[in-house]
Amino acid sequence: MRASQAMPQTSPTGLNSAAPLGPVSQADRMAGETTRRAKEQSEGLFLKHLYLGAVLVRVLVGAAVFFTGYLEFFAGDAVTYDYFGWELAKIWSGEAQYTHWVLSRVQTMGHNGMFYWVAAGYMVLGRSPFLLTLVQIVVVSLIPVLVYKTARLLFDSIPVARYAALMTAFFPSMIIWSSMLLKDSIVIFLFCVTVYFSLKLQMENKIRHAVPALTAMVLIFPIRGYVFYFSLLAVVASYLMSRYGGVTVAALSARLGGLCLIGILLFAMGFDDIAKQQVNANLLEQVQISRVDMARRADSGFDTGANVSTLSGAVSFLPRGVMYLLFAPFPWEGGGLRKMLAVPEMLVWYALFPFCVMGMLYTARMLFRRALIIFLFTVQLTLFYAIFQGNVGTAHRQRTQVFVFYFIFTSAGLVYSRRKARLQMQAIPHQPASPALPDPVRPVSLGRLKSRL
C-alpha cells in the first residue's frame, strides 16, 4: 500500500486546507503541479531556516553558559560526563587503568551511554567539552525538523507542523537544555526518529522504515534505560493497533513477523537479562529512594515527605506530581536565579496549555490510532516523572522529553480553534442590507422644470 492511499481523505472541517478531490482538467492539473512544487520549495526553505536558526541560538546560549563559567550552575551533570568521559578515553588510549570509581559509573547498564559518547568524542577531538557540545548541537538541532515532519505526517497540515517546529526550536527550555553536554536532547532526538519512522512503517511495511526506527530505539537504552522500555511498549502497541495496511492476513502476518524479529534481536543482544536486573519487585522503592535524594539535595526540592514506595502512595501523589512536572516553577513561589529565569516561559506555557488540551482531545477523537505511539509515550513518561521527580530543576529539564509532543498537540489545538472560529463566522447569516435612502430633494428652478416638461 502506498502512503498516499493510507492517508485519510481531506475535509473542510479538518486541520488541513486541501479541497475535496474531484475531476480536474489538464490545465487545472498542471496548475496544481506548479502549486505543489512551489509549496515543496517553500517547505524546504522553511526547514532550512528553521534548522540554521535552531543551531545558531543553541551555539550562542551554549557558548554563553560555558565561557562564563556557569556550566556547573546550570548543568552539573555535564561536568560529570566530562570527567568520566575523559577518564574512559584515557583508559582506551592506554594512558590509565580502570578504577573502582570509574567502573561504578561506566558499567551501569542503562545509564552509561553518555560516558561512552563523550569518551568517543574525546578520542577524536581531544578533551574539548565545548567542541563536543557543538557537534552534539549540530545533531540535536534536527529535532525541530523531525517534529515538523511528524506533525505534517500526522495531521496533514502545514500550519500545525510549523507551529510545533517553531515551539520546539525556540522555546527557552528546549534551547537551554539542548545547548549543553547533556543526555536529554539526545534522548529526544532518538525518540523523535523512532516516532517518525514508526509512523512511516504503519503506512508502509518497508525495511527502510523499520531499520532507523529500531536502531534509534535501541540506542536509547544505554543513555536512559527506562525510556527505552516506554518507547518499546509505545512502538509495539501502536504498530499492532494501527489501521494502516488493513486487517488482512498478509498485513497481520507482516506485523507479527516484524515484532518477532524485534524480539529475537533484543533477546540476542541480552536485553532480557538486563531487564530482569533493572525491573524488579522493588521498583517503587527504588523510585522513592531516588526521589527523596533529589528533593533533599536541591534547593528546589518539593514534598520530601511524600511516600511513593507503595502503589497507593504513588497513586495518591500522582496529581500533585503531574502539576509540578507540567507547571513548575510557579511564579508566586519565588526562588533562586534558575527559577526566576524560567518564570516568563511558564507564563507563556500557561496561556498555551488550554490549546494543548484542545489539541489532545481533537487528536484522540479524529486520529487516535495513528497518534497512539505519541499518546502512549507521553502518558507513560509524564506519569513516571510525576512520581519520580523530587525537585523543580530536574523536572524542568527532563520534561523536555515529552514537551516536544505536547507542542504538537498545542499546535493542533491552535489551528483547530482558529479554523473552528472561522467556520462559525461563516455560519452566521448575513444581515440583509438596509434599503438605499432616496437622494435628498433638491430645489429645482422654474426654468429647469419647464425644460423637463
Q: How confident is the model at residue 451 (pLDDT cuts 50, 70, 90)?
A: very low
pLDDT for residue 260 is more than 70: no
pLDDT of 52 reads 98
pLDDT digits (tens, 9 = 90+) for 299-346: 555 556 666 667 777 778 788 888 888 988 888 776 677 777 788 899
The upper half-sphere exposure of residue 375, i.e. CA atoms within 13 Å in the direction of its Cβ, equals 18
pLDDT of 288 reads 56
Query: How far apart (Å, rounded) are the C-alpha atoms in residues 34 and 368?
Result: 34
pLDDT of 191 reads 94
pLDDT of 78 reads 94
Decide which of 306 and 80 is more confident. Answer: 80
Q: Read out DSSP for 18-54?
A: PPPP----HHHHHHHHHHHHHHHHHHHHHHHHHHHHH
What is the mean predicted confidence (pLDDT) over 66-94?
A: 93
pLDDT for residue 267 is more than 60: no
Lowest mean pLDDT across 20-34, 91-105, 123-137: 20-34
Beta bridge partners, 391, equal: 301
pLDDT of 440 reads 44
pLDDT of 205 reads 82
pTM of the entire structure? Answer: 0.80
Q: How confident is the model at residue 88 (pLDDT cuts 50, 70, 90)?
A: very high
What is the mean predicted confidence (pLDDT) over 279-306?
A: 55
What is the mean predicted confidence (pLDDT) over 408-430?
A: 85
To the nearest whole percent, how much of the chain has pLDDT over 90?
A: 44
Lowest mean pLDDT across 2-11, 189-198, 252-261, 405-414: 2-11
Query: How far apart (Å, rounded) are the C-alpha atoms in residues 83 and 5?
Result: 52
Lowest mean pLDDT across 243-252, 346-355, 390-399: 243-252
Omega before residue 329 within 30° of 0, cis: yes
- Nearest alpha-carbon partner for 415 in 162, 144, 196: 162
Q: How confident is the model at residue 98 (pLDDT cuts 50, 70, 90)?
A: confident
pLDDT for residue 94 is more than 50: yes
What is the mean predicted confidence (pLDDT) over 246-272?
A: 59
Q: How confident is the model at residue 292 (pLDDT cuts 50, 70, 90)?
A: low
User: Which residue is listed with cell 416638461?
Assistant: 453
pLDDT of 307 reads 66
What is the mean predicted confidence (pLDDT) over 391-417?
A: 88
- Mean model confidence pLDDT for the chain: 80
pLDDT of 298 reads 54
User: Which residue is listed with cell 526562588?
Assistant: 335
Query: How far apart (Å, rounded) are the C-alpha atoms in residues 300 and 394?
Result: 9
Specify whether the CB–CB gap between 117 and 88 falls below 8 A. Answer: no
Q: Read out DSSP for 330-350?
A: PGGG--SHHHHHHHHHHHHHH
Locate the domains of the chain by residue range. Answer: 48-139
pLDDT of 42 reads 86
SS3 state at 389: coil
pLDDT of 184 reads 93
pLDDT for residue 172 is more than 60: yes
pLDDT of 311 reads 72
pLDDT of 80 reads 93
Q: Side chain identity at 430, as an amino acid letter?
A: H
- Nearest alpha-carbon partner for 373 in 201, 221, 250: 201
Query: How far apart (Å, rounded) are the C-alpha atoms in residues 445 and 412?
Result: 69
Decide which of 306 and 133 is more confident. Answer: 133
What is the mean predicted confidence (pLDDT) over 371-378?
A: 92
